[in-house]
Structure 1
Amino acid sequence: MRKKIIGFLLYFTLLLSSLPLTSAYAANSAIAKLPGYSNPLMDHKLGADPFALVYNGRVYVYMSSDAYEYNSDGTIKDNDFSELTKINVISSADMVNWTDHGSIPVAGYNNANNGSGIAKWASLAWAPSVAHKTINGQDKFFLYYANGASGIGVLTADTPIGPWTDPLGKALVTSSTSGMSGVTWLFDPAVLVDDDGTGYLYCGGGIPNTSDPASIANPKTARVLKLGADMISIDGSAVTIDAPYMFEDSGIHKYNGKYYYSYCINFSGKHPAIYPAGEIGYMVSSSPRGPFTYTGHFLKNPYTFFGVGGNNHHAVFNFNNQWYVVYHAQTVSKAQFGDGKGYRSPHINKLVYNSDGTIQEVQGDMAVIPQIANLNPYTRNEAETIGWNAGITTEASQAAGGPVNNLDVGFINNGDWVAVGNADFGTGGAKTFKANVASATTGGNIEIRLDSVTGTLIGTLLVPSTGGWQTWRELTTTVSGATGVHKVFFLFTGTGSGYLFNFDYWQFTPNTTRTRVETENMTLGGPYAGKISSPFSGVALYANNDYAAFTQNFTSSTHSFSLQGASSNDGTARVDLQIGGTTVGSFYFTGITPTVQTLPNITHATGNQEVKLTVTTDIGTWDAYSDFLVIQ
């Protein structure tokens, strides 16, 4: 049965009850991530304890699966972290539009995750960290997570989004692992693969005796372990990191040849000013296993920025030559319920180094990260790639052709919407829009608007009933007026108070411009190439590398090429099409009657390229006549 979690249903039912449901402009409001802002990374779901992995031009963020819990009377509980059995994953190429990759059902003990849990021995999945390493020529990914505070497990995969498997069938690190004695909380892993390919795992936390000032000041509960070459074994004994006022949240990164170990400073007792409670402190070493020297702090408790505090969890990463810190804050839950209640959401802000290698204080906010790359609207885009949204959630999809653990945008009511930032339609603009949709009701509409939810309407896709919520149809409509770079809003409208349809993916097609070039106006080359007046005004190309050429500026990398030509006799002549010195296809003309031959969807280099029609061989020794070439 299709239903939203109770909190979303109550919230949006109340919100929709105040809106004219039949109005195309009755758009719902975003919860916390406002259009144009970059934080929080998402607000259609939660995510805590974030860790970032950069791979193949994307940054992947892995998180504990915070989700609202309710009392029997429908009131929200404070988060007690007992339901964190999954790992949420999102990714982005531009830092604003984030693709929801769903949840990894990690914990499998005692039928956790409804029996689909991967690690049958684990009952919880907290605070993930992920590493990539090439082993025997193959990309491998390793996800480390905490089974509560009692140990560290590991999953493996061949892609950053899975599918994942449990290679050990047990914990990788426990209290009986050499060197782990004395760790109060065995959790919060962080992983580093060094330049030589060696892996290191950092974990631990807690205060052995909160009534002892010496124990508070030097808990000695942080550890670093060297990983085996396979990344799923431990090499030697763990080494203690003497992190002053250590509480939790191990972090590790390498900058300018130095190793930066960072962590959340504890809240207990009295602290010297250099160890501010609840902030992220850091230590530096010339070795991944220390000794580390305390250097300072760089990220205040979220309360400073957002008026709601709680624990502080972070990870530092570099993406496109810019350093960032990803952390969590209770901004979505506060916006939705007026009180964070311990439910957290991911944020990212820039991190800056001073010339001496120290780190400047990070300024946490909702708006500061700019979109670093434009989105291409002319390729398939998953509907669950979201810059901003209102009213929707995501769900597992049975639609074909999507990524691993494909999702769709679902539970769509009238006035809900999703949007993406900075889609580049180019100077030619778009002519059609298609979307993969499914509906078990009467359906509705997707209004396509530019720059805001009430912005310029460039087209409307009518979505009928498809016969089921997972019975998918690809539908197309014409659009006009989309050129240049714009935010794109998909506003969902329809009648009634029920769900309208599900939304799997979308794609625009560009307006194609035709460029016709007469061959007699091209540059001719070769021993015999020359102009002709019959059977058309054009050129004759013979063997021995005769050619006709010109230069074309290509702004995109795929075009169709159509050549009108003929053979000088009843035989067949071949004309090769070369772009930038590469032969991309051949035209064949049989007989003396002119015909148009087409090479569709040719991929080629962009920019100024030489386009050449050349005859290097004849079939049956026949000469080739050519009239004009059309590029579109």
Structure 2
Amino acid sequence: MNQANPTPFTAAVGKIPHAGNPLVSHKFGADPYALVFDGRVYLYMTNDVLEYDADGNVKDNTYGNINKIGVISSDDLVNWTDHGNIVAAGPEGAAKWATQSWAPAAAHKVIEGKDRFFLYFANNASGIGVLTSDSPIGPWVDPLGEALILRSTPGVEAVTWLFDPAVLVDDDGSAYIYFGGGVPEGKDERPDTARVMRLGDDMISVVGEAVTIPAPYMFEDAGINKVGGTYYYTYCSNFFKGERAEGSPPAGEIAYMTSDNPMGPWTYHGSILKNPERFFGVGGNNHHAVFSFGDAWYIAYHAQTLSKALGVSNGYRSTHLNQVVFHDGAILEIQADYEGVRQTKDFDPYVRAAAATMAWSAGVTTESIVRAGDPSNSVQAVADIDNGDWIALSRVNFGAAGASSFQASFLSEAGGSIELRLDQADGELIGTLDVPAASDAAWMEEDTKVTGAQGVRDLYLVFKGEPGAKLFKLGHWQFG
């Protein structure tokens, strides 16, 4: 350890520097869906949260209490900003008619000259709702006051699980929603529970009748992409244990079909992503979203890697990212791993950064803090900070001249300090920001001098203070 840092620091769990997967380790996030807008990719995720039995032991994820949707975003695919949770369902949620919010899907469309965002979600397996916003991070409202798709919707009466939406806005502005899942008894090979339906121009209504997608061994998890003039429908196969027809997808894998029309007919091609068990030694269901960002294609999917590292792999899932390659119209088989994807650009430390932006972390959580009693004026802060905890940013470009100062905003508790270190948690010390203790809940800002921060380096913010005390909550930071 560095002589200037005699106090041990917290060990990373679940996501180890310099791994890219899972994307974050301070929270779970399942069933990812990607929306690319204005140079950033936003991932919307089912908000898995640990459940406990009467003795305080972690029990299996029942999904029954999930009524929030997590949102993270990045402009480089390695440093991710936590935007907190959307309270989608339940008495305090935007859609008070719904009890759960699973497997979200997001879409953007310009309507009457304005950017509009739409967030579709499953109310367990009984219906699909929609929320709207003027921003990809909200606030979100329920424009209907009821579900968008129910069992009374034409063409969906025989769908076992009415959930897992995906949405395509085509080049001509027309939009389509894909959904469904489940396996009727005796129909493992051809469940016929996948559907596609036209959305209205307003994106909050449906048109006509839902059409069946004949996906072999369909289980759940709709995905839709258009590449060139071809539509790619992707889904997760079921777990039928009997003999499968030759060329069918194995159990729990992501498979794909293609068409030259968003409503079909569809041609089956094969499997592209094996079950997480094959890569990470822990299985469960498989859920994905394929998206393009910059000049490449990627797949977001979930696996129980963080929960496995925590010793509680009871159905609690985390989002991962790997690259996708299209070749001669086919999707090549995808290799999932802990390494993840390459960072697409350097991080700029001279722009005010939300503290809840990190590539790696240890010991911390995040918390949405409302300022001045105004819910629209909230900060997603790094919280639950103890002595030795840290957050880190990948490939921070300080430039040839280097940084000379560092400023941060915080809500102080016991107080402490922020050590600024390069490349690792006990790396070269370039500055220390003192955080005074405070008895009130007022935001404070302090700054300090920095020396030795030049070029492109990983940056660690290491938190120090009285052992056993909660030190402070960090809101924003910026170098000068």
Note the 1:437-476 alignment, pairs <5 A.
437-441=410-414, 443-468=415-440, 470-476=441-447
Where structure 1 has 5 or more consecutive residues not aligned to the other structure, the ranges are 1-21, 510-632
The structure with higher relative contact order (CA 8 Å, sep 6+) is: 2
Take 2:39 and 2:71, find their aligned partners in 1: how far apart are those partners? Answer: 16
Take 1:481 and 1:311, find their aligned partners in 2: how far apart are those partners? Answer: 47
Shift, 1:41, TM fit: 0.5
Note the 1:226-625 alignment, pairs <5 A.
226-268=198-240, 269-274=242-247, 275-337=249-311, 339-354=312-327, 356-399=328-371, 405-441=378-414, 443-468=415-440, 470-509=441-480
Amino acid at match of 1:265: S
Could you tell me which residue of structure 1 aligns to residue 183 of structure 2?
207
Could you tell me which residue of structure 1 aligns to residue 101 of structure 2?
125
Q: Which string of whole-angstrom CA distances, capped at 9 and with x for unpartnered residues, describes residues 78-121 of structure 1? A: 1111111110000000011000000000112xx3xxxx211010
Where structure 2 has 5 or more consecutive residues not aligned to the other structure, the ranges are none
Take 1:137 and 1:122, find their aligned partners in 2: how far apart are those partners? Answer: 31
Q: Check conservation: 1:449, 1:458, Cα contact below 8 A.
A: yes
Q: Check conservation: 2:15, 2:21, Cα contact below 8 A.
A: yes
Could you tell me which residue of structure 2 aligns to residue 81 of structure 1?
63
> What count of residue pairs does the alignment treat as equivalent?
475
Could you tell me which residue of structure 1 aligns to residue 44 of structure 2?
62
Shift, 1:452, TM fit: 0.5
Note the 1:85-104 alignment, pairs <5 A.
85-104=67-86
Could you tell me which residue of structure 2 aligns to residue 105 of structure 1?
87
Amino acid at match of 2:384: F
Shift, 1:206, TM fit: 0.5
Amino acid at match of 2:479: F
Q: Check conservation: 2:371, 2:377, Cα contact below 8 A.
A: no
Take 1:456 and 1:237, find their aligned partners in 2: how far apart are those partners? Answer: 63
Take 2:473 and 2:309, find their aligned partners in 1: how far apart are those partners? Answer: 26
Take 1:117 and 1:27, find their aligned partners in 2: how far apart are those partners? Answer: 38
Take 1:175 and 1:87, find their aligned partners in 2: how far apart are those partners? Answer: 24
Label 1:385 to 1:498 Cα distance change in 2 as closer, same or farther (>3 A). same
Could you tell me which residue of structure 1 aligns to residue 163 of structure 2?
187
Larger Rg: 1
Shift, 1:65, TM fit: 0.5
Higher helix share: 1
Take 1:379 and 1:353, find their aligned partners in 2: how far apart are those partners? Answer: 36
Label 1:399 to 1:389 Cα distance change in 2 as closer, same or farther (>3 A). farther
Q: Check conservation: 1:48, 1:65, Cα contact below 8 A.
A: yes
Could you tell me which residue of structure 1 aligns to residue 10 of structure 2?
28
Amino acid at match of 2:300: V
Label 1:218 to 1:99 Cα distance change in 2 as closer, same or farther (>3 A). same
Amino acid at match of 1:83: N
Label 1:236 to 1:404 Cα distance change in 2 as closer, same or farther (>3 A). farther
Shift, 1:332, TM fit: 0.2
Q: Check conservation: 2:371, 2:378, Cα contact below 8 A.
A: no
Q: Check conservation: 2:370, 2:378, Cα contact below 8 A.
A: no
Q: Which string of whole-angstrom CA distances, capped at 9 and with x for unpartnered residues, describes residues 436-479 of structure 1? A: 011132x10100001100110000000001333x4111100001
Shift, 1:252, TM fit: 0.5
Q: Which string of whole-angstrom CA distances, capped at 9 and with x for unpartnered residues, describes residues 384-408 of structure 1? A: 0011000000001235899965310
Amino acid at match of 2:462: L
Note the 1:11-22 alignment, pairs <5 A.
none
Amino acid at match of 1:326: A
Label 1:135 to 1:279 Cα distance change in 2 as closer, same or farther (>3 A). same
Q: Check conservation: 1:25, 1:454, Cα contact below 8 A.
A: no
